[in-house]
Amino acid sequence: GNSVTQMEGPVTLSEEAFLTINCTYTATGYPSLFWYVQYPGEGLQLLLKATKADDKGSNKGFEATYRKETTSFHLEKGSVQVSDSAVYFCALGSPGGSYIPTFGRGTSLIVHP
């Protein structure tokens, strides 16, 4: 079945540091891949998405590239801010009519001034 593996957190960085959060997946077919962000006490919101191999999703300085050969979708940002502190979830959809997305366990990011 489908699965998503994220790196364990928390990830602790100083402001302006480079961020990488690793995400690998196992899936059948060609699912869309997503990164969601959750700020404290709130629901998840979509950060970025990629729908096919070699697609790069980007938003608010964050980027992730759909790598089919390595089954990965790592999240990166060149210079993090304190306001980026949140929990980040990698997720994959499922084509062909399945209605159950697969989420990773989430990675907490803490950015210090």
Q: Is 94 in the site for another protein (CB under 8 A)?
A: yes
- For residue 22, the minimal CB distance to another protein (Å) is 15
Instruction: Spell out, one character per residue from 41 to 80, where the chain touches another protein: x when CB under 8 A holds, - when not.
Output: xxxxxx--x-------------------------------
Q: What is the DSSP string of 62-89?
A: EEEE-BTTTTB--EEESS--GGG-EEEE
Q: What angle do CA 26, 109, 85 make, to 5 degrees?
A: 130
Site membership for another protein, residue 26 (CB under 8 A)? no
Contacts of 41 (CB under 8 A, 6+ apart): none
34 binds another protein (CB under 8 A): yes
Cβ proximity to another protein, 84 vs 104, nearer residue:
104
